[in-house]
């Protein structure tokens, strides 16, 4: 009798639940879903025509969840672009990447060239100036970090490292705009090599011993 009751209780027991994913993983998935939804929508319409509700519907995320992570769609937009540059920086140490680079120039140029609809949406929304400022700022921080890692500038350099990095980043952002406006574009790899040769030469000039930041041209 007792055995039968035990069997009934076992049979009625609900299946074991899978452990819930860590909170950080859930947050990352949510932020990624919202970011991808916004990027997809920007291929379809200007940013000013996209509402938070459009993003929520596309991502399948609740409104309360959205406002847990972001203030508004502009905050989401800026966050997604920052995440993209964080990803780009990881490519500098990826297997097969040319060593000694200060910025993932080839990867950046190739990606932007593929995002024609996105760039048009930015232009129509009036946010293109914002994105160029963001690109310049992100590149400047990246270049400063990479230079400190590869070959720190001397303490008596003419300009602070942050200022030199800003100059290099501004030039790269201008080069990208020039490149996008051309039909007869050099390849992203050619641009990468040419930009690094110019910038590394300038950085070497600020070092008393003229030691080169390591670089190697790919064959």
- Give pLDDT tens digits for 170-187: 999 999 999 999 999 999
User: How do residues 13-45 score in pLDDT, each as one tens digit?
Assistant: 444 444 444 558 888 999 999 999 998 998 888
Count the domains in the chain: 1
Which of 46-50, 53-57, 104-108, 147-151 shows the lowest mean pLDDT across its residues?
A: 46-50
Q: For residue 175, tell me if it sits in a domain.
A: yes
In the predicted model, is pLDDT for residue 71 greater than 50? yes
Query: Mean pLDDT, to the nearest integer, of 132-154?
Result: 92
Once rounded to an integer, what is the mean pLDDT over residues 90-111? Answer: 93
Cβ proximity of 43 and 121 under 8 Å: yes
pLDDT in tens, 208-219: 444 444 444 443
Look up residue 172 and give its two tokens: 């790269």
Q: Flag whether 117 is in a domain.
A: yes
Nearest-CA neighbor of 72 among 53, 45, 44? 53
Q: Residue 1 falls within a domain, yes or no?
A: no
Q: What pLDDT score was predicted for residue 105?
A: 97
What is the distance between the alpha carbons of residues 130 and 145, in angstroms, rounded to a whole number? 23
Residue 219 lies in a domain: no
116 within a domain of the structure (yes/no): yes
Q: Which of 5-14, 93-102, 122-131 has the highest mean pLDDT?
A: 93-102
Q: How far is CA 181 from CA 48, 160, 163, 176, 177, in A?
A: 24, 32, 28, 9, 6
The verdict on residue 55 lying in a domain is no
Domain range enclosing 185: 75-205
Contacts of 153 (CB under 8 A, 6+ apart): 147, 161, 164, 203, 206, 207
Residue 144 belongs to a domain: yes
pTM score of the predicted model: 0.74
The pLDDT of residue 157 is above 70: yes
Give pLDDT, residue 199. Answer: 95
Q: Tell me how far apart the alpha carbons of residues 124 and 44 are, in angstroms, rounded to a whole number.
A: 12
Q: What pLDDT score does 78 carry? A: 87
Task: Note whether residue 35 is domain-resident.
Answer: no
């Amino acid at each position: 009798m007792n055995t039968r009751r035990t069997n009934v209780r076992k049979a009625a027991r609900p299946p074991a639940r899978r452990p819930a994913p860590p909170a950080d993983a859930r947050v990352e998935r949510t932020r990624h879903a919202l970011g991808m939804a916004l990027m997809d929508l920007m291929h379809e319409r200007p940013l000013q025509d996209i509402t938070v509700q459009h993003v929520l519907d596309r991502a399948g995320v609740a409104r309360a969840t959205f406002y847990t992570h972001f203030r508004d769609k502009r905050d989401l937009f800026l966050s997604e672009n920052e995440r993209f540059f964080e990803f780009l920086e990881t490519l500098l140490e990826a297997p097969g990447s040319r060593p000694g680079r200060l910025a993932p120039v080839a990867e950046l140029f190739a990606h932007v060239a593929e995002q024609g609809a996105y760039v048009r949406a930015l232009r129509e929304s009036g946010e293109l100036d914002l994105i160029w400022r963001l690109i310049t700022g992100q590149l400047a921080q990246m270049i400063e970090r990479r230079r400190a890692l590869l070959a720190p500038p001397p303490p008596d350099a003419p300009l602070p490292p942050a200022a030199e990095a800003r100059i290099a980043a501004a030039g790269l952002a201008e080069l990208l705009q020039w490149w996008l406006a051309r039909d007869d574009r050099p390849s992203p790899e050619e641009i990468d090599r040419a930009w690094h040769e110019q910038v590394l030469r300038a950085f070497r000039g600020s070092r008393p011993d003229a030691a080169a930041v390591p670089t190697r041209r790919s064959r």
